[in-house]
Structure 1
């Protein structure tokens, strides 16, 4: 048996020896960065920056839990290659308070989990403005008809409006109706408006205002009648002025107008060819006579009553003699 001193010395030597190196654990992936939740009209999206590695394709897994349940559950984002996860899941209620977490995986190598802040869709989603379908205009009001992509009974709407020429703004009351009237307006005036929506919860989630749109109010019946009268009077005055201008133009340029409507006589070409073959220069004589003649505008006949009666009697006697002569010739 070894002596006690030797045994003690051996124990001291063994204790002084360094410990053997432990087995190396696999390398750990870096955690995803910039983990952010985006939510618009209850469409929920979790995004993060990609984890870069030298070799291989990194996969990601997303889980969630609620205040009522202390364990983590998977959603439709397990072993995915995309750096985003749409967690608009009907099983995840809008009023639940949830927390999400994401990690990177490369084979057996995994990163640590990265958790998000607590998220409640009813409070944290952005409620966008509704879409205006049409605007009905009357002389003293505008009626806005709109729809929203979110079908939720807790949605309410408000309209901010103002006259385009001023900066004084007005707001309607919050209402669930999808038709809002802007009343007591000026006729034939342009008004601009914006609309917004909110979710009525414990802390109201009010969405942003829509883009500015403008519309003009209509005219009243009396004003439309006045416009018709003004247009009729203006048209009548215009016609009278044009008639006076035309009359003065004709009076001043009488010869020119007469020349336009009574151009110089010209012998037709086929008659001219025929006359060229005649012995007498008839064509030249006709043309010269026509050029020298000044056509009359009117013809006036003045006669006394006695001359008219004698003219009628002479005409009748002439007709009787001519008829008797024709009858005698037929007998012979």
Structure 2
């Protein structure tokens, strides 16, 4: 009877193992190694390396569990199934993890129907083991001081000051190029810090790191930020004097512009007066001056001959003199021809009978018509009439 009970317990145990491990057969396939849970800024990622000496199409299944105070897992929850990646993010919204919880993960290797044993990670508590990222730092030069502005890193779950009650900052600053002379200011709780007692017109570099008592891992340091200081703050009375002088100058300019506005206007925009010989142009268009100008005749243009004399070589002067001589000879010949064309009418007076006087009068009329200069109005000299004696026949 005892033997039957023992056999029943063994069968039940084997069925339980078979159910938990699935319908696959556990073979000699090696599990991933090492398997570890990591956390950065409150995320939760399970990472592993592929098993050594295993080839083929390897797949992985990852699970996680919440750990109680007795370091026992409550129950495994599958997260990544049949994946070829070597990590599994457990901090997505479908995974119910908390910032103060402790978790453990495990991974097994799968190849076809083969399944390896589970490779399990160490426990991880988020608020104690997460790695806090670097803060963001900006500098502002204010005369002889530097204003350091610090921004906390972004957490995947919650925020820095919600998880940790009293985080502090360690600020380190030094002159540019002299990091061995760095000065540290620990346990700063404010996000805005003023660095004073600095040399003017000097470049300083600053780096900030977050410190939390509950976390065993040191946080990442911020990037190094550098800025140059300006001149030290002037005395208050100097600023007051400068403001007073400026306001006095402004008021004086306003008063002068109001009192002497006419003179200023005449100086900037002077009146333009036309010369006296242009005053008549200001007369209206219907004045008598323009009417007389409209009725007046256009004056006759007088043209005078112009002789252009050039200075050249002897040969050019000789040719020019020959041309002038030839032109004068042509003018003399033209004048001679004009004199030759002058007609002098001759009147012959005879004493005869009436029958003889009639033909003579007709001859004189014909002679006058043949003289072209008389017809054109030119002066033809008239010779004295020749009187014949009364006894002409």
1:33 and 2:36 equivalent?
no
Instruction: Please point out which of 207, 210, 232 is paired with 1:197.
Output: 210
Q: How does 1:157-306 map to 2 (within 5 A)?
A: 157-164=169-176, 166=178, 167-201=180-214, 203=215, 205-220=217-232, 278-281=308-311
1:131 and 2:139 equivalent?
no
Q: How many residues align?
A: 204
When residues 113 and 80 of structure 1 are mapped into structure 2, their CA distance, relative to the original with a 3 A threshold, is same
Structure 2 CA distance for aligned equivalents of residues 57 and 70 of structure 1? 27
Q: Which ranges of 4 or more aligned residues in structure 1 deviate by more than 6 Å?
A: none
Instruction: Please point out which of 81, 84, 89 is paired with 2:84.
Output: 81
Matched residue, 1:70: 73
Structure 1 CA distance for aligned equivalents of residues 63 and 206 of structure 2? 43
When residues 76 and 199 of structure 1 are mapped into structure 2, their CA distance, relative to the original with a 3 A threshold, is farther
When residues 54 and 170 of structure 1 are mapped into structure 2, their CA distance, relative to the original with a 3 A threshold, is closer
| Structural RMSD (CA) | 3.0
Give the greater-gyration-radius structure (CA).
2
Matched residue, 1:288: none
Structure 2 CA distance for aligned equivalents of residues 213 and 191 of structure 1? 8
Structure 1 CA distance for aligned equivalents of residues 227 and 125 of structure 2? 38
Structure 2 CA distance for aligned equivalents of residues 165 and 131 of structure 1? 22
Matched residue, 2:116: 111
Instruction: Please point out which of 132, 137, 152 is paired with 2:160.
Output: 152
| CA drift at 1:104 | 1.9
| CA drift at 1:107 | 4.9
Structure 2 CA distance for aligned equivalents of residues 218 and 45 of structure 1? 47
Contact 1:127 1:206 in 2 (8 A): yes
SS of equivalent residue, structure 2 residue 100 = coil
| CA drift at 1:53 | 5.5
When residues 54 and 187 of structure 1 are mapped into structure 2, their CA distance, relative to the original with a 3 A threshold, is closer
The C-alpha deviation readout for 1:66-125, integer Å capped at 9, x for no partner, is 124533321522333322111225622222222211112345432111111221222222
The C-alpha deviation readout for 1:148-204, integer Å capped at 9, x for no partner, is 223221243221112235432222232343222222212211111111113342x55
Matched residue, 2:272: none
Structure 2 CA distance for aligned equivalents of residues 118 and 26 of structure 1? 26
Matched residue, 1:21: none
Structure 1 CA distance for aligned equivalents of residues 149 and 43 of structure 2? 24
1:59 and 2:60 equivalent?
yes
| CA drift at 1:55 | 5.4
SS of equivalent residue, structure 2 residue 79 = coil
Structure 2 CA distance for aligned equivalents of residues 126 and 70 of structure 1? 24
**Structure 1 gaps, min length 5:** 1-24, 226-276, 283-332
